[in-house]
Amino acid sequence: MSLFAFLTARYGGGFASREQINRHQDRAFAHFRKRIMPRSPFYRDFADTPLDQLPRMTKTLLMENFSAINTCGIDRDRAFEIALQSERSRDFNPLIGDVAVGLSTGTSGQRGLFLASERERRLWGATMLGRYWPELWRRQRVAFFMRADNALYRSMSNRMVRFEFFDLLGDFDSHVIRLEALDPSVLIAPARILSLLAQLQEKGRLSLAPRRVISVAETLSGDDKAGIHRAFGRPVDQVYQATEGVLAMTCPAGNLHLNERLMRIDEDVIDSASGAFCPIIHDFTRESLPILNYRLDDVLIPDPRPCSCGCTSRRIARIEGREDDMLWWPGVLGRVLIPAEAIRTAIACLPCRIRDYRVIQRGDDLEFWLDGAKDGAETLLAERIADLGRRLNCCPPRLVFRRGLPALSDEKRRRIIVLTQPVQCAAE
Ligand SMILES: [Zn+2]
């Protein structure tokens, strides 16, 4: 299975047609219904139910029913205890039998548990390595920045790959020293860490020569993408991965495709103008903790154009961000979705360099916090925002300008934050 996944990810070239995708998924689900669902007390009686009629799953519901949903007979409280203990001691080997237990971050303060069996870990490794391994004949050194290590990723260390983990909660300066010593051939990190490393590289404080640079776990903005490319001389690949699975990956042509080889992804469209949708996933490779009819609160923007790589898996223009952080402004025919990139561009195009910024929607007010702004920046920005409103046929909120950065604790350092939507948009 994992060798097959490796070869498919590396040489498969993707699906030639939509029919082929449907056939592949139908076959996989037939197996899943027969072999996996009966082992889950929660799903046992749903083996014949169409996917979109299964109970709509969310993180909360998944956690509430964790003990009944998983197919390994693992009790939720025990799994939590083991995962928490291993995180506290930062001694990461949380296994129950051969099943790895992990905790997800949970931006809303809610933490999720996830499981990965040995087979699932191998499949994950094979898919990732198959797609992104630079040269098969060379031993690779992989640097992976993430919040907490766990057995899922460690399983990849072997003769072919030296795999080093960098704890996102650890001391960054000592990471830099260790990174320099490792001289990774593959660099995997969330977008903001890649950006920081790119800045160090440009200042000459780092001299890495990775063959692959992969952004995970966060939205990668256009300017970050360009900066990272410039610093390392490599285009940035993206893996859109949530606790719930690997949802999308960049192809050899550099475009993001939904991972229709491993899951069926339905679209809950939240904005018909752009086609923006929240994915509802049905993963037929997750056997330990089935993920079915599960709605994520990330917003994806589809790209209907065919890709030059030849794969017909649906393309994604970008991952716009969390549903809660979408900016909605009142328009003539209802609320209008404002692309975060348009706001970022308006700020990036100011003639004076802004060190950093935050944009906070607070009801009918839109606060701009500009760190390092010079006089005149506010007036220019106000003009740009008015332009944007005209272009998108909507009415921008009242603008409030401030200097410096707000005191907000935000682990993910989001730059655009929605606290409350404008009154007119909140009701929709
Ligand atoms: Zn492609």
Say yes or no: 404 and 384 in one domain: yes
Residue type, 282: H
Query: Is residue 153 in some structural domain?
Result: yes
Ligand 1 centroid to residue 289 C-alpha, Å: 30
Say yes or no: 99 and 173 in one domain: no
pLDDT for 1 equals: 45
Q: Which of residues 314 and 345 earns the better pLDDT score?
A: 314
Query: Is residue 45 in some structural domain?
Result: yes
Say yes or no: 309 and 170 in one domain: yes
Query: Is residue 5 in some structural domain?
Result: no
What domain count does the chain have? Answer: 3
Ligand 1 centroid to residue 257 C-alpha, Å: 6
Say yes or no: 373 and 253 in one domain: no
CATH number of the domain that 377 lies in?
Answer: 3.30.300
- Predicted confidence (pLDDT) per residue in 29-47, tens digit: 999 999 999 999 999 999 9
Residues near 6 by beta carbon (within 8 Å), at least 6 away in sequence: 126, 127, 129, 130
Query: Is residue 9 in some structural domain?
Result: no
**Is 368 a residue whose pLDDT tops 90?**
yes
Ligand 1 centroid to residue 213 C-alpha, Å: 18
Domain stops at, among 76, 98, 115: 115
Say yes or no: 266 and 211 in one domain: yes
- Predicted confidence (pLDDT) per residue in 147-170, tens digit: 765 555 665 667 777 888 888 878
Say yes or no: 143 and 153 in one domain: yes
In this prediction, residues 231-260 reach a mean pLDDT of 90
Say yes or no: 157 and 273 in one domain: yes
Say yes or no: 82 and 190 in one domain: no
Ligand 1 centroid to residue 306 C-alpha, Å: 8
In this prediction, residues 315-342 reach a mean pLDDT of 90
Ligand 1 centroid to residue 307 C-alpha, Å: 5
**Is 126 a residue whose pLDDT tops 70?**
yes
Ligand 1 centroid to residue 281 C-alpha, Å: 21
Say yes or no: 88 and 65 in one domain: yes
Residues near 45 by beta carbon (within 8 Å), at least 6 away in sequence: none
Ligand 1 centroid to residue 47 C-alpha, Å: 34
Ligand 1 centroid to residue 351 C-alpha, Å: 36
Ligand 1 centroid to residue 119 C-alpha, Å: 27
Which of 227-236, 237-246, 270-279 is predicted with the least confidence, judged by mean pLDDT? Answer: 237-246
Domain stops at, among 91, 115, 139: 115
**Is 313 a residue whose pLDDT tops 80?**
yes
In this prediction, residues 208-232 reach a mean pLDDT of 90
- Predicted confidence (pLDDT) per residue in 41-68, tens digit: 999 999 999 999 999 998 889 999 999 9
Domain containing 313: what range? 116-324
In this prediction, residues 300-304 reach a mean pLDDT of 96
pLDDT for 395 equals: 92
Ligand 1 centroid to residue 118 C-alpha, Å: 30
Say yes or no: 273 and 374 in one domain: no
Q: Which of residues 21 and 103 earns the better pLDDT score?
A: 21
**Is 367 a residue whose pLDDT tops 50?**
yes
Say yes or no: 242 and 192 in one domain: yes
Ligand 1 centroid to residue 48 C-alpha, Å: 34
Q: Which of residues 162 and 369 earns the better pLDDT score?
A: 369
Say yes or no: 142 and 289 in one domain: yes
Ligand 1 centroid to residue 183 C-alpha, Å: 29
Query: Is residue 10 in some structural domain?
Result: no
pLDDT band at 105 (very low <50, low <70, confident <90, very high): low
Query: Is residue 341 in some structural domain?
Result: yes
Which of 154-168, 269-283, 320-334, 375-389 is predicted with the least confidence, judged by mean pLDDT? Answer: 154-168
Domain stops at, among 88, 115, 142: 115
Query: Is residue 7 in some structural domain?
Result: no
- Predicted confidence (pLDDT) per residue in 317-328, tens digit: 999 988 988 999
Ligand 1 centroid to residue 5 C-alpha, Å: 18
Which of 15-19, 160-164, 225-229 is predicted with the least confidence, judged by mean pLDDT? Answer: 160-164
Query: Is residue 211 in some structural domain?
Result: yes
